Amino acid sequence: MPVRSLNSSVLKWPRREEVEEALLSWVEKEKRKNPDILRIGVFGSYNTPLWGAGSDLDVVVVLRRSPYPFWERSRYFNTMSLPVPVDLLVYTEEEFEKLEGRFAQVMQKEVRWL
C-alpha cells in the first residue's frame, strides 16, 4: 500500500516496476498453492499509460473448478502482499467462457495473461 514519507504528509505510491514484480511473485505463489488455477491476468488502468498514483490492480483468476459461489471465491486469495489495492475477480473456466456483453469484450481485448 502507499506509504507516508517519514518527514512528510505526502504519500509515496509504489513505482510501476515494484507493482509488477510483486504481482508476478504473487501469481507464482498462488499457482503453486492452487492446482485449479488455469490462468491469472491483469486488466484495467494498470495496462494503460494512464496508470499512476491511486491506481489499483484489476486481476482476474480463472479456475478449473470451484466448490464456492462466485461472490465468495476472492476471499480465498490473499492479496495483502501486493503494494496497491486489488480488485479481484475469480471465475471458473466455464463461467469465464460464458461471459457476454461489454465486460466480455473488455476481458477479450484488455486482459494481459501472466
For 62-113, write each residue's pLDDT tens digit: 999 999 999 999 999 999 999 999 999 999 999 999 999 999 998 899 999 9
pTM of the model: 0.86
Q: State the Cα–Cα distance between residues 8 and 12, nearest whole angstrom.
A: 10
Rounded to 5 degrees, what are φ and ψ at 70?
Answer: -50, -45
What is the predicted pLDDT for the residue at 52? Answer: 81
CA dihedral sign, ordered 15, 103, 109, 81: positive
Check whether 1 has a pLDDT greater than 90.
Answer: no
Following CA atoms 17, 21, 22, 28 in sequence, which dihedral angle do they give, to the nearest 10 degrees? 160
In the numeric block, the cell 485449479 is attached to 36
